[in-house]
């Protein structure tokens, strides 16, 4: 009994101590979380933009959350564009210093940021850029600046776009682990790496045309900003005319080569400061705490913007992937709200589950009966990502959006040969002819393949019907554009898969016009968990996340990306409407 009393006392004491520590911890976080109110801008300020974290379209940033930003500095594209536009109207902000290296954003996102920066310049303010190293995407963004400078011993990458696809046919034969593949669409090459060791003519054709279209758009934007023709820019790329800082100056890619302290003298001169005076820098992350509370659009009427981002899986969904749960609830809530007059569905997805895609498509159809639905495509809206948006009244895409990919496939792993080599034999017992339909340890039967192929064909036909109805085309017209082929946003407008080229703001403006409202505010969906809630969730899964971080650190980003692709393959369930290849443009 004495032992039990001591044990209970010890447990109670530990719980009390833990409770006190947690209370102190939360009080500290509350104080830190409210310290942002002291962010000072001052006059003659320069806004520092340096995007060091991966950029999503939307992270559900909540400025009223006292714990916002404590565990993650992640900001969404919507926050970035809004912050730049608020700064354009802020008399205290005289210009922007852009210092981004290794921009972790898609081309369409970079293009939207460029447009916001152009608007900033048109407000009569300057933008200067400096970097130790410009990747092609960094340079694409920085080219909008009035003046661009590079470290004298730095480097600038400007050689054209390329991508690489890995093939695994020989690996399967050597290991005895095989992916059984059933597909529809000659361009549906997400499964090609399991069937061949070389790239098919069709796949090479679509990738070449896609990256050429993206490159042409980049050159158009860069040439407009730098006053260099696309022909000359292609010559510079072909001859590696920007491979040294000196060559980059001669090629007019940049304005000069200076160290950062020398670059700051240019900023001071622009602001009318003496060389010994200090620059009034304002960190962009800090500025977001101010700009987040300023609404550029206000009114009792609302335009709902619903974000669907990530791969498509069956389930609730969240910030990282699209599930039918969170997206359909957002659509239903917006459709039923009396203050919401129109809906904009923002899609950034390479696709995934065909079933979930159809569930969301149906909710868009239902919402469209209540009020106008305009769709905005971000970096990628391919296959299932295109599927969920095709029901909208109108579709916008950026010229650099990757879209289309109307096709479906299924992949099923099989280890029959490996199991045999290891001395494993699996025996099945069932009550009916088809009760044992498939085993990982047995070759796929013709009857099972036929059943799966039947499902693939039915899903493909349904996909065609959805697109034909949404785009007012015949089935044969859609089929000629489908077969899993991927298009750029610019090409998708030409072939009728997209209505107009434009940003998310353009889509919002169109939605307001369709709803016949002039004064309106923006209401964003879905509502993600707060920083604090995510922190507590992360604490529960800290061991797993730490392990992943260690693996990524040890094997490098490229190998980790390939590892995650294999992991995603294993999590695919059911028929897939997915991007036909993993596009890693560099």
- Interatomic CA distance for residues 307 and 349, integer angstroms: 10
- Interatomic CA distance for residues 572 and 569, integer angstroms: 5
CB 361 within 8 A of CB 394: no
CB 334 within 8 A of CB 304: yes
* DSSP label at residue 56: B
The answer to whether 294 is a known catalytic residue is no
- Closest C-alpha among 47, 48, 50 to residue 90: 47
- Interatomic CA distance for residues 200 and 437, integer angstroms: 32
- Closest C-alpha among 561, 582, 572, 567 to residue 411: 572
Task: Write the DSSP string, 490-502.
Answer: HHHHHHTSSSEE-
Residues 253-277: b if buried by 16+ CB within 10 A, e if exposed = bbbbbbeeeebbebbbeebebeeee
> Which residue reads 């369709």 in tokens?
514
- Which candidate in 94, 115, 137, 188 is catalytic? 188
> Which residue reads 């098919």 in tokens?
200
CB 131 within 8 A of CB 258: no
CB 533 within 8 A of CB 341: no
- Which candidate in 225, 353, 383, 503 is catalytic? 383
- The dihedral over CA atoms of 565, 497, 78, 74, expressed in degrees to the nearest 10, equals 0
- Closest C-alpha among 348, 298, 368 to residue 523: 298
Query: How far is C-alpha 331 from the chain's CA centre?
Result: 20
The answer to whether 582 is a known catalytic residue is no
- Closest C-alpha among 503, 408, 492 to residue 456: 408
- Interatomic CA distance for residues 465 and 534, integer angstroms: 40
> Which residue reads 């389930």 in tokens?
315
The residues annotated as belonging to the active site are 188, 383
């Amino acid at each position: 009994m004495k032992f039990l009393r001591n044990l209970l006392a010890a447990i109670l004491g530990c719980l009390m101590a833990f409770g006190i520590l947690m209370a102190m911890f939360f009080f500290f976080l509350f104080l830190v979380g409210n310290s942002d109110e002291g962010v000072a801008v001052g006059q003659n300020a320069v806004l520092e933009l340096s995007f060091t974290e991966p950029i999503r379209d939307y992270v559900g940033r909540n400025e009223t959350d006292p714990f916002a930003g404590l565990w993650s500095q992640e900001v969404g594209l919507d926050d970035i564009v809004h912050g730049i536009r608020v700064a354009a109207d802020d008399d205290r902000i005289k210009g922007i210093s852009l210092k981004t290296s290794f921009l972790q954003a898609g081309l369409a996102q970079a293009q939207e940021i460029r447009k916001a920066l152009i608007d900033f310049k048109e407000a009569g303010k300057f933008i200067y850029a400096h970097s130790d190293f410009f990747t092609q995407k960094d340079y694409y963004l920085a080219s909008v600046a009035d003046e661009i400078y590079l470290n004298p011993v730095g480097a600038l990458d400007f050689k054209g776009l390329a991508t690489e696809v890995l093939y695994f046919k020989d690996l399967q034969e050597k290991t005895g682990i095989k992916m059984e593949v059933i597909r529809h669409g000659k361009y549906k090459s997400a499964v090609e790496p399991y069937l061949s060791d070389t790239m098919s003519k069709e796949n090479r054709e679509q990738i070449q045309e896609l990256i050429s279209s993206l490159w042409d758009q980049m050159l158009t934007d860069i040439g407009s900003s730098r006053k260099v023709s696309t022909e000359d820019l292609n010559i510079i790329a072909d001859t590696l005319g920007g491979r040294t800082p000196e060559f980059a100056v001669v090629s007019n890619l940049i304005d000069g080569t200076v160290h950062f302290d020398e670059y700051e003298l240019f900023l001071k001169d622009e602001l009318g400061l003496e060389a010994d005076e200090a620059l009034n820098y304002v960190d962009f992350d800090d500025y977001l705490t101010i700009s987040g509370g300023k609404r550029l659009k206000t009114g009792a009427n609302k335009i709902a913007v619903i974000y669907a981002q990530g791969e498509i899986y069956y389930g609730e969904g969240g910030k990282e992937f699209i599930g039918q749960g969170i997206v359909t609830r957002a659509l239903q809530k917006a459709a039923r709200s009396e203050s919401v007059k129109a809906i904009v569905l923002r899609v950034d997805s390479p696709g995934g589950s065909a079933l979930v895609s159809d569930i969301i498509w149906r909710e868009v159809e239902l919402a469209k009966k209540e009020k106008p639905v305009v769709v905005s495509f971000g970096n990628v809206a391919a296959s299932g990502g295109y599927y969920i948006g095709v029901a909208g009244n109108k579709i916008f895409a950026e010229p650099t959006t990757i879209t289309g990919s109307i096709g479906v496939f299924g992949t099923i792993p099989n280890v029959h040969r490996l199991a045999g080599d290891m001395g494993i034999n699996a025996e099945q017992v069932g009550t009916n002819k088809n009760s044992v339909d498939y085993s990982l340890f047995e070759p796929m039967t013709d009857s099972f393949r036929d059943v799966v192929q039947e499902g693939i064909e039915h899903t493909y036909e349904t996909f065609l019907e959805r697109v034909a109805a949404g785009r007012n085309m015949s089935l044969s017209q859609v089929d000629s554009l489908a077969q899993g082929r991927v298009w750029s946003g610019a090409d998708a407008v030409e072939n009728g898969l997209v209505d107009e080229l434009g940003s998310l703001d353009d889509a919002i403006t169109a939605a307001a016009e369709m709803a016949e409202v002039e004064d309106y505010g923006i209401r964003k969906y879905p509502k993600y968990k707060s920083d604090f809630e995510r922190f507590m969730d992360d604490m529960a899964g800290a061991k797993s996340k730490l392990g992943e971080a260690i693996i990524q650190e040890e094997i490098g980003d490229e190998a980790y990306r390939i590892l995650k692709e294999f992991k995603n393959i294993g999590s695919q369930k059911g028929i897939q409407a997915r991007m036909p290849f993993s596009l890693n443009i560099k």
